[in-house]
Structure 1
């Protein structure tokens, strides 16, 4: 079960065979703001959170893109009541951004300490959730809200 979603599935998947036009990859594109240090943002996600570099390209006018491997991707859709529940559990009532990235890590407490030391802002320290994960909330570089979660079972 996804650590940021304690709800049980409403309906089981209809088929384990992908549809002919099935999505092959989920790629979250983060625009590093003008004036931000691109290399510092890259180092945070690549070196601190441990996402290995998959591809990198450079273009005219100093255009750069680096694609990092973030493991298996899922798309979690939550209605407002579920978002409020998750916020209450993870942050004692703080509010989620419209897009929050949840990353499963081996040790959420250690990864949270490393992330804060590398410049992330701590929103909520690691805490055990009712769905048996250890979750922390951070404001990461480039304005990306993060949940670091560790499955406990």
Structure 2
């Protein structure tokens, strides 16, 4: 079997324009392409230079919640999904995200694995972490 060459995380949003403004304009993800379909169907594909698929068991999710938020975070879905973006400056990214309407769940916090992580709830309800590698 040939290894995949791309990872796409598809987020459904009832307000696509607001989601695009948040992820493209505020977070800075460049638009790769977009398509319109029948009956008002639209998709905008934003690009990240590199991506990873992070698989974590419930104990690790609880540990990350404790480190980033200081308590268990509310998990609305049966499967926990959180989008994490590495940024060069977590404090500046956090300020930008808050100004754009993201709800701050926990401010930038240094983690045991030497990163500075901040947790948000994006305007579309997605759990979002921005992190800056410190070492």
TM-score by length of 1: 0.81
* Structure ID, larger Rg: 1
**The residue matched to 1:141 in structure 2 has which SS?**
coil
TM-score by length of 2: 0.92
Q: 1:81 to 1:123 in 2, by over 3 A?
A: same
How far the C-alpha of 1:80 sits from its partner, in A, is 1.4
**Separation in 2, partners of 1:102, 1:128:** 15
Tell me if 1:32 matches 2:32.
no
Cα deviation digits, residues 9-53 of structure 1 (max 9, x gap): xxxxxxxxxxx42111110000002xx3x2121011001111000
RMSD: 1.2
Cα deviation digits, residues 97-124 of structure 1 (max 9, x gap): 4000111011111111101110111100
Decide whether the 8 Å contact of 1:41 with 1:142 is kept in 2.
yes
Aligned to 1:56: 34
Segments of structure 1 that go 5 or more residues without pairing to the other structure are 1-19
Aligned 1:3-152 pairs, distance under 5 A = 20-33=1-14, 36=15, 38-95=16-73, 97=75, 98-152=80-134
Paired residues in the alignment total 131
- Relative contact order higher in (CA < 8 Å, ≥ 6 apart): 1
How far the C-alpha of 1:130 sits from its partner, in A, is 1.1
Aligned to 1:7: none
Query: Could you list the runs of 4 or more consecutive aligned residues of structure 1 that deviate by over 3 angstroms after TM superposition?
Result: none
**Separation in 1, partners of 2:68, 2:4:** 30
